[in-house]
């Protein structure tokens, strides 16, 4: 199942997130600044630096390719598959590891995120490791509880370095929910939450995140660090920044995000309910893991389908435990075939729709070093990555005319905009642009006004 993640089908880095992460990692690599990630020459502090530290070496070794940018997600996905299979064999019974890995590998959200250069797979891996370590450490048959406690605390610390406070908060919320559920399901009492475990998690976060945060505060100032933390936690949670959606959004998106296993999950839950009373501790954990993740992110005003990824191992493990093995194998094979077909046949169209790769590559060898590259009323980070050039984002016609009027007359300029935007420009603005530029349409839906080469207009 690990090999399914490395299928052919080269898709361009998509906007906005993949291209931003990859470009920030490339700028970190070129500038040698490991503390302050930068995108398009400006600090980008919405996420911690771990993903950039992981992307920079592959970019240095493999070049500025999509595979290099996505390699950390692919490696994290492979590790998560192996971890899920191992834990299934240990806690769900012999022979469940393979079906659990197959269910996870063919879960839609897992398969998609494994092939994207984003932070979500790293978060899912370390939240999963933390929850499994916690369960092992607090189990009556735990043999190495101290080592397991330290491992879980370290995983929580790395989760914080991968995506900020959301990692520790999510893991803590699930553990709290398991503790509460154990009281109502008459599960054998265990010490679910201890002062020692909480202190270990806090110490791990301090040791792993503290040095980078201290260095960041020394560079940009403590006030700026606190402002970023406030915006990315309180403001995103209470008001939404990028994709605000209603509270019930994930209750509907759940069925699509976890296809095909979301459709089989009700049958698995029905079998679990009939099989044991009180329910098995591991089933309580998995149900709280799944339900807690959906509830946790539902409380945020911002919502993104990829945020449910940390619950994918719980869906896979519940399916492997409570669905017939033959059924799991058949569904995995069918889902895998459909995912392979999607990768092979849809990558090209997605590249054209979700990225400006085609347009940026068509402009090469432009833009030259001193060229002014303008994105007019668009924000497409893939233009920065594939053009390998800083982009000036312009949001109004007045600003655009001012830039063209005030720039050095000898400085070449390239302007990229949507085709519909060009069609709506007035004649005066079009005339001003066409006086020094030539109109091309290198990608459907977009136009580029590129500098007229010497002698081209003769």
Give the number of other Cβ atoms within 10 Å of residue 72's Cβ.
26
Which tokens hold the place of 228? 């970023």
Q: Could you give the CA distance from residue 85 to residue 90 in angstroms, rounded to a whole number?
A: 9
**Phi/psi of residue 56, nearest 5 degrees:** -60, -45
Asked whether residue 211 carries a pLDDT value surpassing 70, the answer given is yes
Confidence of residue 87 (pLDDT cuts 50, 70, 90): very high
Element (H, E) at 332: helix 325-354
Confidence of residue 77 (pLDDT cuts 50, 70, 90): very high
Give the number of other Cβ atoms within 10 Å of residue 213's Cβ.
17
End-to-end alpha carbon distance in the chain: 60
The DSSP symbol for 234 reads I
Q: Choose between 78 and 138: higher pLDDT.
A: 78
Over the stretch 61-74, which tens digit does the pLDDT of each residue have?
999 999 999 999 99
Query: How confident is the model at residue 186, as a pLDDT?
Result: 64
Which tokens hold the place of 393? 């984002």
Q: How does the average pLDDT of the chain come out, rounded?
A: 88
For residue 416, the Cα-to-chain-centroid distance in whole angstroms is 27
Which tokens hold the place of 173? 């919320």
Q: Which of 49, 418, 28 is nearest to 208 (CA)?
A: 49
Q: Counting Cβ atoms within 10 Å, is residue 350 exposed (0-12), middle (13-18) or buried (19+)?
A: middle
Asked whether residue 15 carries a pLDDT value surpassing 70, the answer given is yes
Query: How confident is the model at residue 366, as a pLDDT?
Result: 67
Over the stretch 261-275, which tens digit does the pLDDT of each residue have?
999 999 999 988 888
Query: How confident is the model at residue 279, as a pLDDT?
Result: 77
Least confident interval from 99-108, 190-199, 220-229: 190-199
| Alpha-helix residue ranges (DSSP H) falling in 42-194 | 50-62, 66-91, 97-105, 108-114, 120-138, 145-163, 166-184
Give the number of other Cβ atoms within 10 Å of residue 373's Cβ.
22
Q: Could you give the CA distance from residue 84 to residue 97 in angstroms, rounded to a whole number?
A: 7
Which tokens hold the place of 58? 């592959």
Query: How confident is the model at residue 205, as a pLDDT?
Result: 86
The residues with which 413 forms a beta bridge, in sequence order, are 372
Asked whether residue 190 carries a pLDDT value surpassing 90, the answer given is no
Least confident interval from 2-16, 137-151, 355-369, 425-439: 2-16
Q: Choose between 138 and 45: higher pLDDT.
A: 45
Query: How confident is the model at residue 66, as a pLDDT?
Result: 93
Asked whether residue 455 carries a pLDDT value surpassing 50, the answer given is no
Confidence of residue 438 (pLDDT cuts 50, 70, 90): confident
In the chain, what is the greatest distance between 2 CA atoms, to the nearest angstrom? 87
What average pLDDT does this structure show over 306-332?
Answer: 95
Over the stretch 440-451, which tens digit does the pLDDT of each residue have?
998 999 999 988
Decide: 259 and 315 in contact? Cβ < 8 Å.
no
Query: How confident is the model at residue 415, as a pLDDT?
Result: 92
Element (H, E) at 197: helix 195-220
What average pLDDT does this structure show over 29-57?
Answer: 94
Asked whether residue 458 carries a pLDDT value surpassing 80, the answer given is no
Least confident interval from 192-201, 234-243, 322-331: 192-201
């Amino acid at each position: 199942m690990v090999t399914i993640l490395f299928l052919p089908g080269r898709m361009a880095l998509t906007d906005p997130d993949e291209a931003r992460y990859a470009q920030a990692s490339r700028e970190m690599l070129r500038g040698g600044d490991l503390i302050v990630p930068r995108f398009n020459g400006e600090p980008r502090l919405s996420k911690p630096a771990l993903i950039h530290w992981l992307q920079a070496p592959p970019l240095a070794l493999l070049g500025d390719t999509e595979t290099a940018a996505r390699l950390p997600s692919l490696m994290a996905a492979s590790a998560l598959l192996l971890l899920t299979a191992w834990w299934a064999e240990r806690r769900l019974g012999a022979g469940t590891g393979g079906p659990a890995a197959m269910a996870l590998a063919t879960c839609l959200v897992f398969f998609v995120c494994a092939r994207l250069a984003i932070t979500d797979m790293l978060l899912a891996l370390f939240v999963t490791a933390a929850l499994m370590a916690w369960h092992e450490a607090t189990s009556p048959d735990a043999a190495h509880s101290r080592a397991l406690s330290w491992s879980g605390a370290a995983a929580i610390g790395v989760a914080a370095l991968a995506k900020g406070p959301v990692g520790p908060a999510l893991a803590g919320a699930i553990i709290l929910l398991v503790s509460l559920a154990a009281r109502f399901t008459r599960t054998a009492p265990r010490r679910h939450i201890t002062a020692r475990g909480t202190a270990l998690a806090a110490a791990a976060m301090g040791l792993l995140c503290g040095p980078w945060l201290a260095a960041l505060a020394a560079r940009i100032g403590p006030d700026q660090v606190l402002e970023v933390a406030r915006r990315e936690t309180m403001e995103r949670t209470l008001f939404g920044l990028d994709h605000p959606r209603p509270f019930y959004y994930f209750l509907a998106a759940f069925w699509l995000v976890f296809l095909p296993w979301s459709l089989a999950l009700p049958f698995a839950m029905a079998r679990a309910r009939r099989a044991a009373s009180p329910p098995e501790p591991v089933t309580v954990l998995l149900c709280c893991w799944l339900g807690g993740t959906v509830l946790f992110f539902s409380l945020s005003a911002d919502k993104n389908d990829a945020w449910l990824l940390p619950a994918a191992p719980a869906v896979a493990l519940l399916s492997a435990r409570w669905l017939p093995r033959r059924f799991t194998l058949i569904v995995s094979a069918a889902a895998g075939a459909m995912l392979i077909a999607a990768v092979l046949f849809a990558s090209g169209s997605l590249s054209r729709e979700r990225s400006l790769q085609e347009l940026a590559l068509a402009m090469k060898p432009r833009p030259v070093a001193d060229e002014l590259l303008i994105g007019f009323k668009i924000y497409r980070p893939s233009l920065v990555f594939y053009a390998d050039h800083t982009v000036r984002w312009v949001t109004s016609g007045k600003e655009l005319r001012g830039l063209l009027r005030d720039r050095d007359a000898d400085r070449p300029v390239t302007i990229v905009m949507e085709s519909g935007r060009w069609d709506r420009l007035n004649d005066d603005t079009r005339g001003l642009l066409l006086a020094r530029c030539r109109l091309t349409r290198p990608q459907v839906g977009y136009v580029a006004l590129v500098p007229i080469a010497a002698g081209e207009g003769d």
